[in-house]
Structure 1
Amino acid sequence: MKLFPSGHATHPQWRMAAGLAMAQLRAQMALPDFAAAPGLGLLYITDHYAPEAQAILDHLREELPGVTDWVGCTGVGIAASGAEYWDEPALAIMLCDLPPEQYQVFSGVAPLPASWCAQTALVHAEPQTPELAELIAELASRTTNSALMGGLVSSRQQSVQFAVKSDAARGVWQGGLSGVAFGPGVACITRVTQGCLPVAGEHHITRADQHVVLELDAEPALDVMLRELDISLDEPQRAIAVVRSTLVGLSLPGDAAVGRTGHLQQDVRVRHIVGLDPMRQGVAVAEHLEPGMRLVFCQRDPKAARADLVRICAEIREALEPESLPLEAALLQSPDATQTLPVGGRRIAGAVYVSCTGRGGGHFGGPSAEMQIVRHALGDVPLVGFYAAGEIAGHQLYGYTGVLTVFVGD
């Protein structure tokens, strides 16, 4: 599998931005390491361009007639390799070199065929879609590993999705779900970064009332929280400040919340603490609870977010690299090198990153800091993505997370 051509640009006029991105794409497609005739395009635009979405798509289809299929959406921010675009008109494109029989574009008017066997799927969804969580779970159940990746469209005006296959006339949609499903012949790796670290150990929820945790390990939940956060209700101002910066990680009954490395497990749902119940010694959280679930108090800050993002990138590189290298190959590796092919390993052909709107901008310490972390950790790989109103991974909907997927080949 060759590298996926990618291009990105910002300009007040979308035609100028498209022209700049097209110049990057054409230059890469002429290089031997990049795909010369990819068929699937991923297109992300900031919401500044939303009113011109159909014109942008029509223009790209005319300029790239060999790219027959397109998917993507708008975001209040979009991502590219090493760059983030916030509060400015911009677009990012990646052209995926995949066998046409190994992917299937779908949308509300052209659902995924019941007979089609999907390994995973990239999904874009309208946040206001009724029964959205159930639809995500149902789509995940149609993949071999209940493995989705993607996010909810974010926009300050029109929420736009792109989904077009072959010679279809339209391709811009609003509402529902759309995206592209991948068959077993498409190798990819997905990791989720929660961006927060546990304060202490995990607990079993032994009694709960809807959204209120009443007992943790048969002890009043409020007492447990106050002890672990080292706060007291006798100092209400300090207590309020600490509780506001604290979240809870929740796992289903029987599943661990914290892994052996001390980080949250990938399936853990991180939710806000929304109130205290002193009368019942309870803690209210933004999730329906049931006894048997596991809960861990955690905190999110830029330092924790950076550390967890580096961790998932390291996991991906570890999955790509061989367990051991010949001495000559090992000596060639540099810890500061940016490369798309680990020595002796498999090449990353391209990547998609969906992050939360609450993580973007200055949360990581500066402009484009989040994407610079990914670039430094993975190398200068082709990458596109967007900042979402909610992130999709596995079979569920997340918040304040980052979902990183890489496409790999031998």
Structure 2
Amino acid sequence: MTPFTYAHAGVTPDGPITQWQGWQSLLDHCLQAWPATAGDLGLLYVTEPLAGDLEDILARLKERTGIADWTGAVAPAICATGAEYFDTPAMAMMALEVPSGNYHLVPPINSTEGADDALRASADWRATHDPRFAIVHADPRGAGVMSLVPDLAETTEAYLVGGLTSAASNESQIAGATTGGGVSGVMFGETVPVATGLTQGCSPIGPLRTITAMEEDIITELDGRRALDVFKEDIGDLLARDLQRVAGYIHAAVPVVGSDTGDYMVRNLMGVDPHQGWLAIGDALNVGDRVMFVRRDAASAVEDMGRMLDSLKARAGGGIRGGVYHSCVARGPNQFGPGSQELSMISEALGDVPIIGFFGNGEISNGRLYTYTGVLSLFLEDE
């Protein structure tokens, strides 16, 4: 088994680069041991301080590695095996060394019409390679972008993973060249073996509730009762006495219809009206939909991370060539503590496996948008 070639570098107090000397020094550090031949497809993630240099970085990468096809993104923070880079210039890159022809770059898709054009352009390749997996990057600023992700998943029948890119740059994505807006990425043919897992960062604190009345986007009743009364019952008396304390701690969650694992998508609690007894949740919901309330909990996040890693390790059977990890910017040091604890858990469970990824403001798994989660995708040894 040949592990994927990868490298990463950032300006950190622990080195090896302790002071900012330009993006060239980071790239030179990454490429000092890069082999002469490392496949046809590359993945690159950089942090926001390097956004303005992305085009130059990509051009230099193509020149020095010989890899022509790249996908990737600018993100608030990035990660690699055993390392997390927050609030600092950093880059991570990986050669996704799959057989030639077994991947297809997805150009930026900004509309339904654009999706149709992209699908027509890839029709022959999809008919031959029957893609089952794709890594996608979505610009959170684009109107309707979030509806494009599930549409793309449904049309291609591929399992989409990825995340929301930085909103601080007009060109925050790579799809062959630097680009911005919409959804872009890469599809893989069915002969590329992959295993994926999702871990939650919040734990349920009450039962599933049914929305029984709404005023426009505001929930007024749950289970036939005033929504706020049900909310207070679920969060407990201590928090109910001071609703200011729930901000950033208590969230809503929407169960995934048809899931046999109790999967759910966390959504922010946007507002509480203590006088009317109403709740506002950051999702498009309707009467009859079900919701529950969840708590951001470091202990349960660690426990669920362990569950995901145990499951992936068993499914991988030890033959892991490399992985891509898309996590939430609210995780990492903000939930697991300092010292790259979240990425260290992956290394402790799977060994010194090549990993790169990023921390964003939303994660994509199975074509759905999640928050406060981690999505790990492992490329496996060919059987």
> If the length of structure 1 is used for normalisation, what is the TM-score?
0.80
Looking at structure 2, the residues matched to 71 and 139 of structure 1 have their Cα atoms a distance apart, in angstroms, of 17
Give the direction of change, closer, same or farther, for the CA distance of 1:19–1:388 in structure 2 (3 Å limit).
Answer: same
Equivalent of 2:154, from 141, 147, 154?
Answer: 141
| In the alignment, structure 1 residue 111 sits paired with structure 2 residue 118 | yes
Looking at structure 2, the residues matched to 100 and 142 of structure 1 have their Cα atoms a distance apart, in angstroms, of 24
| In the alignment, structure 1 residue 120 sits paired with structure 2 residue 133 | yes
Give the direction of change, closer, same or farther, for the CA distance of 1:213–1:369 in structure 2 (3 Å limit).
Answer: same
Residue 178 of structure 1, CA deviation = 1.6
Looking at structure 2, the residues matched to 70 and 367 of structure 1 have their Cα atoms a distance apart, in angstroms, of 30
Equivalent of 2:341, from 361, 364, 369?
Answer: 369
Looking at structure 1, the residues matched to 243 and 141 of structure 2 have their Cα atoms a distance apart, in angstroms, of 35
Q: Secondary structure at the match of 1:142?
A: helix
Instruction: Specify the alignment match of 1:163 in structure 2.
Output: 175
Instruction: Specify the alignment match of 1:153 in structure 2.
Output: 165
Question: Any conservation in 2 of the 1:123–1:179 contact (CA below 8 Å)?
Answer: yes
Cα RMSD, aligned residues only: 2.5
| In the alignment, structure 1 residue 305 sits paired with structure 2 residue 301 | yes
1:311 counterpart letter in structure 2: R
- Report which stretch shifted further, 399-408 or 211-220: 211-220
| In the alignment, structure 1 residue 270 sits paired with structure 2 residue 266 | yes
Give the direction of change, closer, same or farther, for the CA distance of 1:185–1:399 in structure 2 (3 Å limit).
Answer: same
Instruction: Specify the alignment match of 2:255 in structure 1.
Output: 251
Instruction: Specify the alignment match of 1:333 in structure 2.
Output: none
Instruction: Specify the alignment match of 2:74 in structure 1.
Output: 74
1:70 counterpart letter in structure 2: W
2:245 counterpart letter in structure 1: A
What 5-or-longer segments of structure 2 have no aligned partner? Answer: 11-16, 110-116
Q: Deviations over 1:202-258 (max 9, x none)?
A: 2333333443333333343322222222227983xx333146521111125x546x9
Q: Deviations over 1:27-84 (max 9, x none)?
A: xx8xxxxxx542211111112222221221111111111x231111111211100101
Question: Any conservation in 2 of the 1:118–1:142 contact (CA below 8 Å)?
Answer: no
Looking at structure 2, the residues matched to 184 and 245 of structure 1 have their Cα atoms a distance apart, in angstroms, of 41
| In the alignment, structure 1 residue 393 sits paired with structure 2 residue 365 | yes
Q: Deviations over 1:322-350 (max 9, x none)?
A: xxxxxxxxxxxxxxxxxxx2xxxxx1111
Question: Any conservation in 2 of the 1:206–1:291 contact (CA below 8 Å)?
Answer: yes
Instruction: Specify the alignment match of 1:54 in structure 2.
Output: 55
Instruction: Specify the alignment match of 1:329 in structure 2.
Output: none
Instruction: Specify the alignment match of 2:244 in structure 1.
Output: 240
Identity of aligned residues (%): 34
Q: Secondary structure at the match of 1:296?
A: strand
Q: Deviations over 1:144-201 (max 9, x none)?
A: 25x211112115445421221xxxxxx1112222211111111112222220111132
Equivalent of 1:379, from 339, 343, 351?
Answer: 351
Instruction: Specify the alignment match of 1:191 in structure 2.
Output: 197
Residue 382 of structure 1, CA deviation = 0.5
